Structure 1
Amino acid sequence: MYVDLGNALSSVASPGVSREALERLDDDVAAAHERIEAGRADADHGYAALNLPETADPDAIRTAVDRFDDPAAILTVGIGGSALGAATIADALESGVDSYVLDNVDPERVASLLGSLDLSATVVNAVSRSGTTAETLSNFLVVRDAMERAGVDWTERTFVTTGEEGPLRRLAEKHDLPALDVPAGVPGRFSALSTVGLASAAIRGHDIEAILDGARDEANRLSGSLFESPAYAYGAGAYALDQRGASVNAVMPYAESLETYAEWFAQLWAESLGKDGLGQTPARALGATDQHSQLQLYRAGPRDKMVTMVRAREREDRAIPETDLEGLSYLGGSSLGELLDAEFEATEASLAAAGRPSVRVELDRVDERGLGELLYGMEAACVLAGELYNVDTFVQPAVEWGKRAARGLLGGGRFEEAEAVAEKERLVIE
């Protein structure tokens, strides 16, 4: 992974950060790195996620999924970090095995998806650390019922990824289902490089060792200086820009295969750093598509944004045919890849010309190794940013409040959060 902070410097953009300020911040980065390394050494909650390149067990993953011969599709039933990592890897890498995710309880979407699948050729992975997540268990019960109605033995097509205890674990034991362990001390949004994200990749035939190798490469580049570690450069740069007014971080990959990555990043950044009135608001965009929509705001709207531009240096390409149409002949003889690169560089230059900060993040290729680098790099960047903000990166109390409220409303117990729903202020216009 390569990170270029040049267009985020105060000599280019406002808000921006000077080289001198980055050098001063590097002392804080060195101290934060010591805390991170101590947390990793003790496998403390959260910091254990940065050990996954070494602690993840590809053999255990393959053993769990090898019983499923030649599936046509994998359906991951989870929500948030229990689904987004698997979805990001699946959408980034091509395979002959289709990948689907049920991470919402919209009944129309669920019915439509289940009606379109050949359930006899689909493998289902139910993912929940606690095994009690209401959305995941509800969707799983619906999926199981649909399989039974279709005459499919769901026990032959299902495995679970869960904690040591809970309803999903008991279900696996009762029906002799393959069960993968969610790694201890790893919050869901940091679990893409574990059983949670890699099981689906294994079923689809991807090289999960190469994903972990890429992550390991990025882990080996962590050091006590942002000038020596791309991950820390990104985390420190985003933090510094936020401190100077760039409270929105618009992530704009120039590869459709990375569109879901932007969703994954949004959860990672928002849920980890949004505490105590601090943290950037992540926004999602897609290059070059959103040059024709959101870029207007980023270039000419409030000066409260940084744009993170992500691309691969190498990709498959497609030639643009020659044409004699007036005004279009300049396109002939070039390629779609060249056009996409030109769009990337023009957008970057456009933002700089308007004095708006952007950060460039590049991979060699969007393949297993490159994806491992990107996912690990951004997780490490997020952990570093949390240290600089002095927030607990690995908890999500606001999310838990909503979970308790929903559970109470559904009769799952008495929770004062559910009682607060009745107190809603109303101003209804009909």
Structure 2
Amino acid sequence: MFLRYHAPASLTDTLGSLVNDKVASRIAAGDPTVWGPAAQEESAKRLGWVGLPESSRPLLAEIEALHAQLREEGLTRVVLAGMGGSSLAPEVICKTAGVDLVTLDTTDPQQVADALAPEIERTVVVVSSKSGGTVETDSHRRTAEKAFSDAGIDAASRIIVVTDPGSPFEKLSTEAGYRKVFLADPSVGGRYSALTAFGLVPSGLAGADIAALLDDAAYAQKQCAKDAVDNPALLLGAVLGDAEKSGAEKIVFAPNGTANDGFADWVEQLLAESTGKDGRGVLPVALTGTDDVGYADAGPDAVPVALGEVDAPQSSSGFAIASDGPLGAQFYLWEFATAVAGAVIGINPFDQPNVEEAKVQARKLLGGSGPADDATPLLTEGAVQVYADGDWASGQDTLAGVLAALLQTDPPNGYVAIMAYLDRHNDRLAADLRPLIARASGKQTTFGWGPRFLHSTGQYHKGGHPNGAFLQITADAPQDLPIPDQPFTFHTLQLAQASGDAAVLKAKGRPVLRLHLSDRGAGLDQVATALEEMSS
């Protein structure tokens, strides 16, 4: 495990204060006073993650025993139904280990069907939820039960649950007779749960070496607990915090260079949901593919982060980071550093005050009590219906014109967020819009699959720095999928989630442009062409 960085000389003062205040040893000891009186009640309930490298070890034997049973029965395909921290950590663990895990963290009907329909005779479904009340995960569970039953398979024997002790989901799972219920540590929040049952159970059942993961985390645990200037967690947290306070609040992760495949996607949730509140916070920008737009010339408002490189890159902000090491160690390092950064910035890194807002609006729309959002398109061009309101869109009569107007709404140090409520496997070309918008706008640009990002950067969008512009992409569904015993379908839920999120952003004065595609492929091509013309 290593950490390199560039930072102004003022970092020495920040680091000295952290060491003198014994911030590292206090966090390691579970001291809830580190983040101030206002955060003390919440942090007192959310510090169990500091001891996970040891406290999670009893899980290993249970997971290994079930893994062996499943393999004996020919059940080798693992589907994970979970949102946010319940899916992001297992996904990166399994990618890095080179083992197969099907991650189901969407409400797109085609993606749900593709996850549950194939090879059901060798499939088990792990349903992960702290309470069981998450609408996406509950819908996945209902659909999985029906899929197994329709195939003549006892559904209860194929469903494994991870939840908090005493939760409604534990009661439901016990009554349903599901094959196994793993109870996670309730003192750990979702985005810090990589080393709990939420991260370990699906990963271990898929075949990842989770014992080695804990071993590597235990090494980092010792390094991060020291009140010393060479403590990597103090250094990383100080850089993140000082950069945010200086106006370099965007943390731009290079798309390659680390053996920890997909690590930036996990860090994205950790940083954005932990710090994006009270008009403050760190906005992660996880680049994709080989395109380096936003990284090579990050600008004065951004901190480039090289994962897997020995030396920190140069940057015009004066801040830069290089970090890498075994995955378990990196999990622990970035969790600890995020908690330190919260103390430096002056926010509570353990709450998520704005996450529920979009959920409330979506539930209202599903129940028929919410407003009909953007009922009439501003214009229709080919396969793209354009929905926008507000002065910023006034007078625009072409797709290219309204896109250009959106990108001009925020200041030069703002950002653009693309929110794609699509199928992230079959519609993956949507991610190619990110570098196109970055070029056209000259701003840092994020990309998120909906509703997955609602459990990640969605908190920052509403609670972080109020300088974002938002491009939302929805689409017709070639084939919808009913949700058993619910009055709505997956596509209805998907559109309600998009509309609910847009309504909350608009109520906060953020500019939101929604592009609805009647044909996904043709519509994405149209948007890409319009953006390319803007940059030429």
> C-alpha separation between the residues in 1 aligned to 2:51 and 2:277?
25
Aligned to 1:12: none
Q: Secondary structure at the match of 2:277?
A: coil
Aligned to 1:398: 354
Deviation at 1:102, TM superposition (A): 0.5
Aligned to 2:366: 410
Aligned to 1:51: 51
Q: Deviations over 1:336-383 (max 9, x none)?
A: xxxxxxxxx7xx65x45x6764211122xxxxxx11101111111111
For structure 2, the residue ranges without an aligned partner over 5 or more in a row are 34-42, 380-536
1:27 and 2:28 correspond: no
Q: Secondary structure at the match of 2:127?
A: strand
Q: How does 1:205-284 map to 2 (within 5 A)?
A: 205-225=207-227, 227-255=229-257, 258-284=260-286
Q: Residue 63 of structure 2 contacts residue 205 of structure 2 at CA under 8 Å; is this kept in 1? A: no
Query: 1:235/1:147 Cα in 2 relative to 1: closer, same or farther (>3 Å)?
Result: same
> C-alpha separation between the residues in 2 aligned to 1:255 and 1:177?
40
1:136 and 2:137 correspond: yes
Q: Residue 256 of structure 1 contacts residue 286 of structure 1 at CA under 8 Å; is this kept in 2? A: no
Aligned to 1:14: none
> C-alpha separation between the residues in 1 aligned to 2:344 and 2:309?
29
* Matched letter for residue 429 of structure 1: L
Deviation at 1:121, TM superposition (A): 0.7
Q: How does 1:107-126 map to 2 (within 5 A)?
A: 107-115=109-117, 117-126=118-127
Aligned to 2:4: 4
> C-alpha separation between the residues in 2 aligned to 1:244 and 1:273?
15
> C-alpha separation between the residues in 1 aligned to 2:110 and 2:79?
17
Q: TM-score, normalised by structure 1?
A: 0.77
Aligned to 2:287: 285
Q: Secondary structure at the match of 2:280?
A: coil
Deviation at 1:275, TM superposition (A): 1.0
Q: Deviations over 1:89-117 (max 9, x none)?
A: 0111123xx211110111121123333x2
> C-alpha separation between the residues in 2 aligned to 1:301 and 1:382?
21
* Matched letter for residue 147 of structure 2: A
Aligned to 2:82: 78
> C-alpha separation between the residues in 1 aligned to 2:213 and 2:20?
28
* Matched letter for residue 133 of structure 1: T
Q: Residue 40 of structure 1 contacts residue 50 of structure 1 at CA under 8 Å; is this kept in 2? A: no
* Matched letter for residue 352 of structure 2: Q
> C-alpha separation between the residues in 2 aligned to 1:244 and 1:222?
25
Tell which deviates more after alignment, 264-273 or 49-58.
Answer: 49-58
> C-alpha separation between the residues in 2 aligned to 1:377 and 1:112?
35
Aligned to 2:480: none
> C-alpha separation between the residues in 1 aligned to 2:378 and 2:255?
40
* Matched letter for residue 2 of structure 2: Y
> C-alpha separation between the residues in 1 aligned to 2:335 and 2:116?
33
Q: Residue 81 of structure 1 contacts residue 189 of structure 1 at CA under 8 Å; is this kept in 2? A: yes
> C-alpha separation between the residues in 2 aligned to 1:187 and 1:385?
17
> C-alpha separation between the residues in 2 aligned to 1:228 and 1:210?
25
Indicate the percent of aligned positions where both proteins have the same amino acid: 28
Q: TM-score, normalised by structure 2?
A: 0.63
Tell which deviates more after alignment, 64-73 or 176-185.
Answer: 64-73
**CA-based RMSD:** 2.7
> C-alpha separation between the residues in 2 aligned to 1:155 and 1:197?
22
For structure 1, the residue ranges without an aligned partner over 5 or more in a row are 10-16, 314-344, 364-369, 412-417
Deviation at 1:301, TM superposition (A): 5.8
Aligned to 1:305: 302
* Matched letter for residue 406 of structure 1: A
* Matched letter for residue 30 of structure 2: G
Deviation at 1:150, TM superposition (A): 2.1
Query: 1:312/1:156 Cα in 2 relative to 1: closer, same or farther (>3 Å)?
Result: farther
Higher relative contact order (CA 8 A, sep 6+): 1
Aligned to 1:331: none
Q: Deviations over 1:63-91 (max 9, x none)?
A: 45443124331100011111111111011
Query: 1:371/1:302 Cα in 2 relative to 1: closer, same or farther (>3 Å)?
Result: closer
Deviation at 1:61, TM superposition (A): 3.0
- Total equivalences in the alignment: 364
Q: Residue 215 of structure 1 contacts residue 373 of structure 1 at CA under 8 Å; is this kept in 2? A: yes
